[in-house]
Structure formats: C-alpha cells, structure tokens
A = this chain, B = another copy of it.
Amino acid sequence: MIYVTRKTHFNAAHRLHNPEKSDEWNQQTFGKCNNHNWHGHNYVLEVTVAGEPDRDTGYVIDLGKLKTIIKKKILDPCDHKNLNLEVPFLENVIPTSENLVKAFYDQLKTDIEKAASNNSRLYSVKLFETERNIAEYCPDRAR
C-alpha cells in the first residue's frame, strides 16, 4: 500500500458559532474565535490517497488530476470566502477544523476514487488551521 499526498492552501474568513445556542453560550465556549466580525486563516490542506501504483504509469493517482479535483471541489468554493456564509456544502456546519476535514472528505471522495488507479481510495484529509492547530479525518485507519 502506497500513500500519495498533495498539499494545497487557501485563505478564508470564519467564526465559531452555534446558531442554536445563545450568544452567551457561544462567547463562553468559543471565546475570541466567536468574534462576530469574523477572523481568518491561511488554511493548508493535505489530501492523501492510498493504493497500488499503476504498472504503466507508476502512479497511484496522477497528482495533476488530484490537484484539479481539489481545486474544483474545495479551493474554488472556499478560497477568499467566508466559510460560515458562502460555501454551499458547509451550510449548517460549525466550521471547526474537525468539521471541515469531515466535510472536505465527503466532497472529495467520489471524484478522487474515479481518477485513481484500480482500488485506490481516499485515505485522509488533513487541515492546518494554523501551524499549531491541525485536524485529520481518516476513517479507514485502524484505531
């Protein structure tokens, strides 16, 4: 099994806010991340595909195609956008890094597995909100 990773980046505004809860709850729970005038990040995104290299190409997946899929499914809707207000697939999602990696994984899975060589699978989506705060979704990893 070989793991191939493509690293990309985008910039966006967000705030952590649960609209089903009171302002007091939100302020207490999320602190400065709840600022109603937003803040933002340079997000770094790593997408990993696992599989066997194709015999003719030596590729698990053509990284050019992977780059194109990530651009279409994640960067175009998210880059220089407000993650709470402007991204259709994030509607009703509190944009914590945990929730974002799960949503990004679901966005990417079908297209990537069509483009990869036989039986390769989307393995992991990892998001660096900052260099210090990181989340990863990796549903098939044995605990």
Contacts and interface: CB of A to CB of B under 8 A. Distances in A.
Nearest to A52: B98
A57 B94 contact: yes
A136 B3 contact: yes
Each complex incorporates copies of this chain amounting to 6
A107 interface: no
Contact of A58 (B1, B86, B96): B96
A97 B4 CA distance: 8
Interface residues on A, range: 35 or more
B143 A96 contact: no
Contacts of A131: 7, 42
B138 A11 contact: no
Contacts of A39: 11-13, 40, 79-82
Contacts of A133: 5-7, 63
Interface in A3-59: 3-9, 11-14, 16, 18, 20-21, 29-33, 35, 37-42, 46, 50, 53, 56-59
A39 to B, nearest CB: 4
Interface in A82-114: 82, 85-86, 93-99, 101-102
Contacts of A97: 4
